[in-house]
Chain A
Amino acid sequence: MTPLDVIWVGLGGGLGSLLRWWIGRLIGERYRSDFPLGTFLINVTGAFAMGYLSVLFMVDWRDRHGTALNSLVLTGVLGGYTTFSSMQLDAAKLAEQRGHVPAGFYLLLSVVVGLLAAALGSGLARAQG
Chain B
Amino acid sequence: MLNYFIVVFVGGGGGLHSARVYHADVPNLADGFPMDILVANLVATFLLAVVTALHRRQIVSDRTNMLIGTGTMGGLSTFSSFAYGVVVLMSASTASAIVASVYVVTSLALGYVAVVVGLKIGGLSSP
B83 interface residue per 8 A CB criterion: yes
User: Which of B16, B49, B66 has the most A CB atoms < 10 Å from its CB?
Assistant: B16
Main SS of the interface on chain A?
helix
User: What is the total number of residues of chain A having a CB less than 8 Å from a CB of chain B?
Assistant: 55
Q: Do most interface residues of chain B lie in helix, strand or loop, or is the interface mixed?
A: helix
Contacts of A121 in B (CB 8 A): 84
CB-CB under 8 A from A118, the residues of chain B are: 80, 83-84, 86-87
Which of B9, B76, B116 counts the most chain A CB atoms within 10 A?
B9
Residue of B nearest to A110 (CB): B79
Asked if residues B87 and A122 are in contact (CB atoms below 8 Å), the reply is: yes
Closest CB of chain A to B108's CB: distance in Å? 6
CB pair B75 A13 closer than 8 Å: yes
Inter-chain residue pair count (beta carbon < 8 A) = 184
17-60 of chain A: CB within 8 A of chain B: 17-18, 20-21, 43, 46-47, 49-51, 54
A61-B20 contact given A14-B9, A18-B9, A83-B79, CB 8 Å threshold: no
In the assembly, what is the distance between CA of A96 and CA of B110, in Å?
Answer: 18
**Given known A85-B45, A96-B127, contact A17–B84 (CB-CB < 8 A):** no
A114 vs B4: C-alpha distance when bound (angstroms): 29
The answer on a CB contact under 8 Å between B28 and A82 is no
1/0 per residue, CB under 8 A from A, across B63-98: the answer is 000100011011111111111111110110000000
The 5 closest A-B pairs by CB, nearest first: A17-B12, A13-B16, A14-B13, A50-B80, A82-B79
